[in-house]
Amino acid sequence: MTSGGPHHDREAAGADRSTALSDALARIKLSGAIFLHSEYTEAWAYESLASQDLAAVLAPDAAQIVIFHVVVSGSCWIEAGSHMVWAHEGDVIVLPYNDQHRMGGHETAEIVPVMQLIDPPPWNALPHIVHGLGGARSELVCGFLACDDRLFDRGLGVFPPVFVVTPPEGPVRSWVKASSDLVLQQTSQVAADRIAAPTDIPQLLLREVLKLHLANAPATDTGWVAALRDPVVAPALAAMHRDPGRKWTLADLARAATTSSSVLDERFRAALGLAPIRYLTGWRMHVAEDLLRTTTLPVAAIAPRVGYESEEAFSRAFKRDHGTAPSIWRAVP
């Protein structure tokens, strides 16, 4: 009897990576909207608001926000910190940590603060920027999504400060274009006291973009992307994500990954900077947050779903992680 060989191993690791990725993305809770429609003509460039100022305008109560830009036509560069990328028609630009950024076209131009280009908030209609010197045109639709998911914890190193996703030719790319067109049609007017989108398109769009990015990102030595690419770590992640309520031990997870406990522990720490059981605790807390936020299940019913034999043991663990008991955490709006 022969083994499946390297090709089989790669396929299995790919399936495990896809499972872990799908599980993580499925639990992300997002809310937000399209907040800006912009038309630029060469030469042009601008600088965004500082992170905290933009968050205060768009979602003052959010733990963090993600910014994205859909390039409807033309092309542009975008720079956040030391990272600069180019994007072209049909691409989606993502700033996962809401870093202050600059954008511009092909020709050299003075960088203008964005608030010089639009009226100050609150906005009674979708802000619309028309800026530049009349040359080649680029059009963008910009959105934000509020999220408190640990996937967007900068310390995990899942994402760079800014990245571009080019949807593959076919249904996904067509859907991105149709979505941005539809949002523009449906968000010509917004309420005076808040920005609102009438559809779930921004959320659906970002989920698809994140999945494409994480599935196709260049290999890295550390971080969540590295973990998803690691043939030892990925199946352990998938096992934890599939069944967070199981009484996992390091030996159990090693068996799921068909490796030894010592190798799994070493590879896990190298990729994520955490021991497997510590990651499991964090994932359980994440699942618990989701259940507390989105269901009316009593704490006693949530506890076994996330691996705790008693409500008391779960409550102690949750309080260590969050600083407050789960019942109090649930009650805070």
Structure tokens at 235: 């199946």
pLDDT of 138 reads: 96
Neighbouring residues of 259: CB distance < 8 A, sequence distance ≥ 6:
232, 267
In a 13 Å sphere around the CA of 113, the CA atoms on its Cβ side amount to 8
- Helix boundaries (H) for the chain: 5-26, 51-58, 171-186, 201-216, 224-229, 233-242, 250-256, 261-272, 276-294, 299-305, 311-322, 326-331
Separation CA 86–CA 82 (nearest Å): 14
Give the pLDDT of the chain (333 residues) as one tens digit per residue: 334 444 444 455 455 556 666 666 766 777 777 778 899 999 999 999 998 898 888 888 887 889 999 999 999 999 998 889 999 998 999 999 999 999 999 999 999 999 999 888 777 777 889 999 999 999 998 888 888 777 787 766 778 899 998 888 877 778 777 777 776 665 544 443 344 444 567 777 788 888 788 776 666 666 777 787 788 998 998 899 889 999 999 999 999 999 999 999 999 999 888 899 999 998 899 889 888 887 889 999 999 999 999 999 999 999 998 889 998 988 775
- Here the tokens at position 12 are 């299995």
80 and 100 Cβ atoms separated by less than 8 Å: yes
Residue 187, pLDDT score: 52
- Collect contacts of 236-240 with beta carbons under 8 A, ≥24 apart: 236/264, 236/268, 236/276, 237/16, 237/20, 237/279, 238/16, 238/17, 238/19, 238/20, 238/23, 240/276, 240/279, 240/280, 240/283
pLDDT number for residue 109: 96
Could you read off the pLDDT of 82-120 as tens digits, one per residue? 889 999 998 999 999 999 999 999 999 999 999 999 888
The pLDDT score that the predictor gives to residue 226 is 77
pLDDT at 7: 44
Residues 114-143 pLDDT 10s: 999 988 877 777 788 999 999 999 999 888
CB atoms within 10 A of CB 160: 20
pLDDT score at 36: 85
What is the pTM assigned to this prediction?
0.71
